[in-house]
Chain A
Amino acid sequence: GDSVTQMEGPVTLSEEAFLTINCTYTATGYPSLFWYVQYPGEGLQLLLKATKADDKGSNKGFEATYRKETTSFHLEKGSVQVSDSAVYFCALSDLIQGAQKLVFGQGTRLTINP
Chain B
Amino acid sequence: ETGVTQTPRHLVMGMTNKKSLKCEQHLGHNAMYWYKQSAKKPLELMFVYNFKEQTENNSVPSRFSPECPNSSHLFLHLHTLQPEDSALYLCASSQGTPGGQETQYFGPGTRLLVL
Contact = CB atoms under 8 A, between A and B. Distances in A.
Contacts of A102: 43, 45, 104
B69 interface: no
Contact of A98 (B97, B104, B108): B97
A98 B53 CA distance: 11
Interface residues of A, number: 27
Given A100-B94, A104-B43, A95 B99 contact: yes
A103 B42 CA distance: 9
A98 B50 contact: yes
Interface string A4-19: 1000000000000000
Interface in A31-61: 32, 34, 36, 41-46, 49, 51
A97 interface: yes
A104 B31 contact: no
Contacts of A44: 43, 90, 92, 106
Interface string B83-115: 000000010101011111111111111000000
Given A45-B106, A89-B43, A104-B43, A97 B2 contact: no
Contacts of A95: 98-99
User: 7 smallest A-B Cβ distances: which pairs?
Assistant: A43-B106, A99-B50, A32-B101, A98-B98, A99-B31, A44-B106, A104-B43
Interface of B: 2, 4, 6, 31, 33, 40-43, 45, 48-51, 55-56, 90, 92, 94, 96-109
Interface of A: 4, 32, 34, 36, 41-46, 49, 51, 89, 93, 95-107
